Every structure is written in structure tokens, then in C-alpha cells.
Structure 1
Amino acid sequence: LGMSKNQCRVSLVSGVVVLSAVAVILGTVCSSVLFDKVQTLDLTGQNEHTFSTEYSLWARDENAVETEDAENTGVLKVVIPAAMTVLTAGLSVILVNRNLKQEPIELLSARVE
């Protein structure tokens, strides 16, 4: 109470953006650490990870095998969290604007009949 609509909008949206940014950063860091640990984990007891491509039709053609670029994964670790934060901020602006269509004092003074 006592805030203008813009002040209320900034207050609510900034809180949501800060919380979502912290959650996205924490989730990204934790998933990167866990993914790196899983990649180095040897579950088979062998020193070298091998698998049979005997029944894989795609493996018969040597040109059909594609490798993943390590450069693309670094970009994705930045782009996806940034997109999540922007999406959350945009959604929170839309929802806050919808809730601020009516004056807060009118909402508090309305009687339930």
C-alpha cells in the first residue's frame, strides 16, 4: 500500500527475476558438476569405454557418424540459462500486469457477499 503501480510492478518483478536467476545459476552449476562427474565415472570396471556397433546400421557407414563439438556445449551453458531467466521475467511481467489492473485498495475494501 502507498506504492504507485509502477513501483509495485518493479518490486514484484525484480523479486521474481532475482529468485529465478539464482535458481537458474545454481541449477546450471550443479548440473555441470554432476555431468562432469558422470562422464568420468567408470561403471563397467574397464579402463576404456567400448561398445559394440554390430547391430547398428548407422555405424556401418563411417561418414554417418557425427561428433559433438565441445564449443557448442559451452555456448549452450550460457544461452539456455539466459533464455530461462528472460522467459521467467517476461512471464512475471505479464502476470503482474494482469494483477495490477485493479487498484489494490479496492481489492482490500471489497466485501464478500
Structure 2
Amino acid sequence: MADALPNVDRLQCLGVANTIVPLLREIHRYEETVVFPAYEAALTLAESKLACTNRLRAEHLEDECYADELTEALLAIGHGDRIDNAEAVGFMLRGFFESVRRHIAFEREHILPRIGFSGL
């Protein structure tokens, strides 16, 4: 989508806009209620003082706020608004997805192996 700007598929923009926030919130809820408690239970006492789950929870909030902003932009595009600054919209898309990729990579490398999950 970012690479196609300013000639994006408006229906695709609407689809992503209507999906991204609910999906992200559901994933975060699962991580915070299932994955993080399992990880925290697997830590030693010394490690628990260094637990990264508080930082990851804060990242969840940041990601959701950013997803809200991205949703607004995609809804506007999907409803026919002109894209005045395609570079800025592309930057928003790439920035959001890069942040989510880093978050996932960290969890795959540090959290999931600790709780015995290697399915990803």
C-alpha cells in the first residue's frame, strides 16, 4: 500500500482502516492476559526485576494510538479525500508496521522461547 501511493486502492484502505485497531487490540489483550503472565511466571526472582513486560505494555498503548491516527488517514483516503502528501502517508504506514515488526521480533526472540513456545 505504501509503495502504491498516491494511487492506492481505496477499498483496501477502508479494509485496513476497519481492521487494524480491533485486531491490534485483540492481539494486545491476548498478550497481556496470557503470554505476559506466562513469561513473568517463568522468570527467576532476579530476572523479574528486569522484566520487560512493562515496556511492552507501554508499547501496546503507543501502537494503538498510532494505529488510531493511521486509521483516520486511511479512512479519509478510502472515502475519497485527496492525498496531499503521499510521502507522509507512506512514512506513517512504514513507521507503524516497522514498530510492530520490532515488537514481534523481540517477543519471538525473548518472550516465546522462555515460555516454551516455538511455533512461530
Instruction: Normalising by structure 2, report the TM-score.
Output: 0.36
TM-score, length-normalised on structure 1?
A: 0.38
Of the two, which has the highest radius of gyration? 1
Higher relative contact order (CA 8 A, sep 6+): 1
Q: Write 1 or 2 for the structure with the bigger share of helix.
A: 2
